[in-house]
Each structure stands twice: as C-alpha cells, then as structure tokens.
Amino acid sequence: MATDGLAGSAGTWVLGTFAVYLLFLLGIGLYSSRLMDSVDDYVIGGRSVGPVVTGFSERASEMSGWLTLGVPSDAFGTGVMAFYNGLGMIPADLFAWAGLAKRLRKYTEVVKAVTLPTFFETRLQDDTGYVKGVSAFVLMIFEGGYVGAQIVAAGTLLEVLTGVSSLVGILAGGVIVVGYTMLGGYFAVAWSDYFQGAIILIAFIILPVLAFTSYGLPFEDLASVGSSYTSVTAGMTGWAAIFGIISYAAIGLGIPGNPHVMVRFMGIDEVKNVRLAALVAQLFMFIAYIGAGFVGLYALVVFGQSGIEDPNNVMPMLTLEFFPGAIAGIILAAALAAMMSSADSQLLVATSAIVEDVYHGYVNPDASQESLVRYSQLVTLGLGGASIVFAYIAQNTPIYTLVLDYAWGGLGAAIGPTLIASLWWKRVSAAGSVASMIVGTATMFLWTQLSTVLELVGLMGAVDGSAFLSGLVGVYGLFPAFILSTTTLIVVSLFTRPPEGVDDHFDTFDKPLSALSSGDDPTGTPEYVTDGGRDVEPKAITETDNIRAHVAASDYWETGEE
C-alpha cells in the first residue's frame, strides 16, 4: 500500500515515523492536561510559556503548510520572484512584535481578557454586545474553515506520499489534532508547534546546502531554463508587475488580524521576554523563507520544468532526492505534522470564541473555571469533528484558495484594523469597529469572486482590454479589503462617540504591570496582576515578591522566634 505513493519505499518510513510522531503529540497533550486549572490555562497557557517556545510557535502556527509546500511550489513556478513572499510577511511580523505584542500582553492581563473579542469589548467599552458578537462570529467562521483547510493539506500530502486514501490521512490527522488540543490546550499546541517548527527549519537549512554541494548556485541553470526565472518580476512588466508585487506584499497585512498569531503575544510568560521571542521568530522566518525559496529553485534545476507534475510536490521530491529513505521519512512526517500545527492553533481560537466569548460572555457569566475548561474540551471535540467532515467535503478545492483567499485574508481584513486601532488610536469607537469588520469580511468574499461576477454582467471584456483594470482585478483581495475596512473604521469612528476615559486605558499600555497592581483603576485592574511567578500566592508581580513569598512559605521567621 505504501509503495504506490510518491515516496516509494520511503513511504513505509513516512507512515511509521508519522505514527510515532502522532503518539508523541498525544503524549504532550496528556502531560499538558495536568496543568489545566482554568480557562486561561486552556486558551493562553496561563501566560506562562517562555520566549523561545513562543517565538517558534508563533511562526510555526502561521507558516507551516504555506512554508513547506506553498513557497517551494511558488519558487518552482515563478523563480526568484518567490522570495517576495517574505516582502510583506517579515516587516509585518516585525511590526506586530514591536508595536502590538507588549501592549496586547499587558492590557489583556490587566482586564483578564483571554480572547480578542473580550479585549475589544473592554477596550471599546461596548455595552451593546455587538463588538464581541460580530468579532466572535468572524473568528468562528474563518478559523473553523482554516482548520479544515489544514487537515485537507495533511491528508492530501499523505495520500500523495504513501498511496493511502486521502480519507485515511484526513481521519488520522484530524483525530490526533483534535485529541491533543482537547487534552492539553494551549500548552500542547505551543510545544508541538515548537518541535514541528524546529524540524522543518533544519530541513530547509540542510536541503539547499546539499543541493549546493552538488549543483553550485542555481541562477545560471535557471537562466538557461527561461529568463523569467531570474527576473525579479517573473518577466512581467507594467501594471502586471506592480500589482504582482503588491499581492506578495499584501499577504503580510493578514498578521494583525489572525488571532492564532496574536494569542502568542497574550500567552508569553513575561512582558520583558517579548524582545527575545521576537528575535527568535524573525530569525526563524528569515531563514525559513530563504531556504524554502531555494528548495523550489533547486527543484527546477534538478528535475526540470516538466519533471514535477504537481508543484505542491516540490519539497517532498527534493527531500527524497537528497536524503536516504529513513531520514526522508522523518522530515516528511514532520512536514505533515507541521501542517497540523496551524490547525491546532486555529481550533483553539475557534473554541475560545464559542466558550469564552459567547457562552461565558452571554449565556452564563457566572460559570466556574472548571466548567469552562470542560466545555472548552467538548467544543474542541465538536468543532474538530465538523472540521474533519468539512475537510472531506472540500478535499478537491485548492488548499491555498481556502487558506489565502478566505481564512487568512478574511481574518486580516476583518480583525486587523480594529486590533491596531484599539492599541494605538484613542478615537476608535465600537460602531466604527463593527462596521469595519463587516466591510472587511464582505469585501474579501466578493473580491475573491470578482472575476466571476464581472463575467456574469458582461464587463470582463472591458477589464481584459485595460492593463490597469486587469491587474487590479487580479490583485490579492486582502489589499483592497484591508484598505476599505480601515477607511470604514476611521470614517465611522469620527462620526460616532468614542469611549470615555481612554487616556486611563492608554496609561495601561505605557506602564509596567507592577505599577498597575493597586488602586481603583478605571480599566478594571484586579488586586494582583501577574508577570511570571504564577505558582505562588499571592501572585508575584516582581522578583522581590517571588522571593518574599518563598521566604514566607519556608516558615523561617516562625522557626527563628521559637
């Protein structure tokens, strides 16, 4: 059975290693389940995950499927222009770490918010429930579809590599992802992302090096295949080249709006560790993008234009070319598992939107932490089952249409502008936020179908006759959707009443957590806020508090008095 796939005899290694790895993930889930005392632990790991794991998981959760298959495939098809994949992503992620991470981490802890909808509701002082309701609905729709898309990718690759049916791949991958996410919550998700990301990163370092030792630099060979492969615009000129570059850059606009990325900022153990986590994430991304691009270029040199029928198989085929079966099996199994590292994060965010934002927010505000954890696990199970069914139904839909055109783009356009404005613009209002989310979601859906609509109304001929209009219609939908969403946010906010006491809220962003631990703060500051040291009572605010608590627990002074 396994020998019928692309991997040939290595398919047995892929299946065997994949099975062992999946059991390892279940072990992480079981171990992490011991740490689950509250819904905060389940959704954001109790804000106790260190900077290295946070940095790796932040990138792995967002890049896995796109990085392992998408970027090498793009480089195989377009040449050096594929390096533009980092054009928008690297500066956008850097901006997110530098401009959003600390503010979001501090504010959400002070007001005890573990999800973005709850953060929006508190920051915008919305007592109508619209901000929380609309943002939670957007998250459930797009993140739910995102989970299904990742499971489709894993199942399809398993089928291509080993020859097993895609249904087997979808069921195996889906059941394991749902299993360890349900058991271990954010802890399991972050640590599994860390291991998967590390293996993929090593593969994308070693593969180009091995190819270089055999073929040298690929550029001369690429030029002999076609001049477009060494062109920075892939041979395009005029408006086509401009809109092509804009499309690559616009992918980065999705980062601030994707909650499975933002939740890493909320879950890091200490604010001061944001800088180290950001450094880890940026190094990971820079090296991974360069390596993935070169994998696609070397595949073109090794196999030629007609040597690979499906460009999505570029990375697996080059791996099988340069590694013996056993090692190739490990790398490809990790690639399969890495795709699921996005699915688990998105599953967790969708779960939190239902349990924390809808159930806890509207249905039962007095629910105990124990019951919220139990309901979160049940909702994860239910959503996971629905995603597996969706994955089976949508298995023939192009995976990157599902991911980029709907999930990634939809979240980026709907949530991104509100998140940035909530952290940096005092004038943003709840009405502006709701309008922005609706416009961003609708534009992303409509723009993806724009060519079909123009064809139906008979205007496609006029578009084809204009280089500008043709390029504009073909541009990545997140670009116009983000602009329209942001414009709506600004205009509606300026014409509606902003929340009161915003200066006090913004003081929260600028002060250290220790300075917010007392007083009647209008943002709802609790008696104690944490920044590490969560295992002592009262919660430690500084290292001195931590030491004081341990001294008190030792009974040293009581012993001395005796």
When the pLDDT of each residue in the chain is averaged and rounded to a whole number, the result is: 78
From the CA atom positions of the chain, what is the Rg in Å? Answer: 24
The answer as to whether 3 is a domain residue is no
113 inside domain: yes
Question: Does residue 2 contact residue 15 with C-beta atoms inside 8 Å?
Answer: yes
Task: Give residue-wise pLDDT tens across range 311-331.
Answer: 777 888 888 888 877 777 777
> How many percent of the chain have pLDDT more than 90?
11
Assigned domain for 503 exists: no
The whole-number pLDDT of residue 513 equals 65
pLDDT reported for residue 155: 74
Per-residue pLDDT at 86:
78
Is 112 part of any domain?
yes
CA distance 381 to 183: 10
Mean pLDDT across the stretch 89-95? 86
**Residue from 5, 43, 32, 15 nearest 337 by CA:** 15
For 119-165, how does the pLDDT look when each residue is reduced to its tens digit (9 = 90+)? 898 888 888 889 988 988 888 888 777 777 777 777 777 777 777 77
Q: What does the alpha-carbon distance between residue 449 and residue 346 come to, in Å, rounded to a whole number?
A: 25
Q: What pLDDT digit, counting tens, does each position of 2-40 carry?
A: 456 666 666 677 777 777 777 777 777 777 766 666 666
Helix, strand or coil for residue 268? Answer: strand
The pTM for the full model equals: 0.79
Distance CA 342, CA 416 (A): 19
CB of 186 closer than 8 Å to CB of 49: yes
Q: What is the pLDDT of residue 398?
A: 61
Classify 49 as helix, strand or coil: strand
Number of domains in the chain: 1
Residue 528: pLDDT band by 50, 70, 90 thresholds? Answer: very low
Q: Which of 357-361, 485-489, 497-501 has the lowest mean pLDDT?
A: 357-361
C-alpha torsion sign, points 174, 175, 176, 178: positive
Confidence of residue 543 (pLDDT cuts 50, 70, 90): very low
Q: Is 123 within a domain?
A: yes
Is 28 a domain residue? no
Phi/psi at 342 (5° precision): -80, -40
Residue 167 pLDDT greater than 90, yes or no: no
> What pLDDT is stored for residue 400 in this prediction?
59
96-110 pLDDT, tens digit per residue, is: 888 898 888 888 877
pLDDT (0 to 100) of residue 399: 60
- Which residues contact residue 31 at a Cβ distance below 8 angstroms, ignoring those fewer than 6 apart? 184
Q: Which domain holds residue 114?
A: 39-397
Neighbours of 519 (CB within 10 A): 8
Confidence check: pLDDT of 532 > 50: no
CA distance 22 to 344: 13
Tell me which residue of 2, 414, 350 sits closest to 148, measured CA to CA.
350
User: Mean pLDDT across the stretch 514-526?
Assistant: 52
Spacing of C-alpha 126 from chain mean position: 27
359-372 CB burial, b ≥16 within 10 A, e <16: bbbeeeeebeeeeb
Question: At 237, which CATH number?
Answer: 1.20.1730.10
Q: Which amino acid is at 166?
A: S
- 509 lies in some domain: no
Query: CA-CA-CA-CA torsion for 215, 289, 279, 118, nearest 10 degrees?
Result: -160
Q: Which residue has the higher pLDDT, 225 or 480?
A: 480
> Is the per-residue pLDDT at 545 higher than 60?
no
| Structure confidence at residue 2 (pLDDT) | 46
Q: Does residue 87 lie in a domain region?
A: yes
Return the structure tokens found at 179: 């299993």
Confidence of residue 489 (pLDDT cuts 50, 70, 90): very high
Mean pLDDT, residues 78-82 taken together: 86
pLDDT band at 558 (very low <50, low <70, confident <90, very high): low
pLDDT at 552 over 60: no
Does position 429 have pLDDT exceeding 90, yes or no? yes
pLDDT for 237 equals 80
pLDDT at 437 (0 to 100): 95
